Structure 1
């Protein structure tokens, strides 16, 4: 009888261990959760691709062994918080811009002005060979992370509560700009003044007249309801910025090779899908803003060249300050 009990106990224990998953890290049968965080609402093309591609691809390809828990809208912190979380291993995956550009100056390429012929050119760059090269360099610079995908942030435009239909209209206006030298230099070179204000405080700053305008993509103008306090949009597309899908290296390395490949494949598909959806929705975004009463003006070729000429002090300084810049920008412009 005692032998029978012992055998039954051993059998139950073995079954329990099997149900709990493999003891080997990343092994078959072990369920792992990948938390993904960003600062965008679910309607942003990159956020939507995380939901519709990254999450689904990983969970389906891993047969549920990997679960993806998505947190949009800055619910886990601002961009700097998310970057620190992935870098320190307290967060598995983050979608961020370039809060690390002071440590790794090549990330300034994401905000380089007038670098692309059009959105399709930007898509070709950031889903191709150059993206792969910079991702490898990123890991060398930040060994505790992997950069798995370059998605679209937006093609940045300028909006204002004051007339803004040509390059000459910038003179004397006050613009909220992101806190990096490229954006601040842009505003100043165009004859405007720049003020750094967090995105979460931007609507109120525009509503109360602290600043006249700002620069963001139309998708952000809509998602942040900025069209409610702005009357003019100049579609300059002066910067086509990227968002980076970054994963914690210790977490990634702990996965099986099969699961690592699943995550990498899903990240690539996510980037490709986000670019395609973003490009497809630009015309819809423009039409929506016009329906809301915003005067939308496309930048003429003459004004585009005038804008490039006026920001020459900025671009000249960028080239002088960054030894990698001339070669990398030339290679990007040559991408077909």
Structure 2
């Protein structure tokens, strides 16, 4: 064998042995949901195995559910500063980047299938690019479902008129607070981890969350009524720390991007399939579940119009983006 060929063969063997000798990279993935939530489940069953298989074990994925790595604000801070490689959060950054309010925009979609179509379309990619421009230390990879939000209460809640005078725990952002207030209720911000106790002791009468959250947080044990308004179809976003991600090979970056998108699609499909089952489960546990009549649904839309008018007036991005979303067939 010629000397050149011998040297080439040796270099190939050295390179191959270096690859196999390389220590795997371990990435931490954090969320605030238990493993029964469709988004958390998709991280376990799609994202983790797809990344590990696609990188041939060179990237290991450790998943931490149920706020193990901190609350939503902690996770957002961690993925920005790199103490967490991947986080699944909602919109804790919407005061810094108001376009993220789109995740909480009321009565934006025709149904859950429409919401899935929107957040697996180029609209998601456009917002992802704008998001990275605003937050260079983070890449947003995909958009999955949080839930279609409903109202629950210990007091009668079977019509629009029943909101008046009730106290609801709402997330601490102007959209959620404004909805409760426009409906004649009062709003109080309470962390999710303290919500069960607040409902049990009567600090508040009710709250708004998707049925999947009502079940996962056992809120049905301290609530009697559920009003299935579906006033917001909220999203959860998979985000990755950019300095970590940008150092990976192009091949491994693609594996992670594809895994994130596949996990979100799986989560949308599983969430959509779970709604009827969740409704029946809550009825079986003794909750009174009421679907608003079309007339009552329109009353809710009309009553919160001061809120949506204010948002349109204050946010230049809002009208073009909501129009684009509603136009998707």
TM-score (norm 2): 0.94
d(CA) in 2 for partners of 1:189, 1:132:
33
Aligned length: 318
Deviation at 1:142, TM superposition (A): 0.4
CA distance in 2, matches of 1:243, 1:301: 28
Q: Which residue is 2:320 aligned to? A: 327
Query: Segments of 4+ in structure 1 off by > 3 A?
Result: 27-30
**Corresponding residue of 1:89:** 82
| Matched residue SS, 1:99 | coil
Cα shift at 1:28: 8.8
Give the drift of 1:254: 1.0
**Equivalent in the alignment of 2:121:** 128
What is the CA–CA distance in structure 1 between the aligned matches of 2:314 and 2:114, rounded to whole Å?
A: 26
User: 2:190 — aligned with what?
Assistant: 197
What is residue 238 of structure 1 aligned with on the other side? 231
What is the Cα-based RMSD across aligned positions, in Å? Answer: 1.6
Counterparts of 1:56 and 1:273 in 2: how far apart (Å)?
14
CA 1:253–1:229 in structure 2 vs 1: closer, same or farther (change >3 Å)? Answer: same
1:129 to partner: Cα distance: 1.0
- The TM-score, its normalising length taken from structure 1, stands at 0.92
Unpaired stretches in structure 1, ≥5 consecutive residues:
1-13
- Structure 2 CA distance, aligned partners of 1:321 and 1:334? 22
Q: Which residue of 2 aligns with 1:313?
A: 306
From 57, 64, 81, the counterpart of 1:64: 57
Following TM superposition, by how much is the alpha carbon of 1:113 offset from its aligned partner in structure 2, in angstroms? Answer: 0.3
| Contact 1:160–1:232 under 8 Å retained in 2 | yes
CA contact (8 A) 1:28 1:65 kept: no
Supply the distance in 1 between the matched residues of 2:230 and 2:238 (Cα, whole angstroms).
23
Which residue does the alignment assign to 2:67? Answer: 74
CA deviation profile, 1:135-192 (whole Å, cap 9, x unmatched): 1111111000100010000000000001100111100000000000000000000000
Rounded to whole Å, the distance in 2 between the matches of 1:132 and 1:30 is 33
Q: Provide the residue aligned with 2:97 in structure 1.
A: 104
1:227 and 2:220 matched:
yes
What is the deviation of 1:29?
A: 4.1
Match of 1:141 in 2: 134
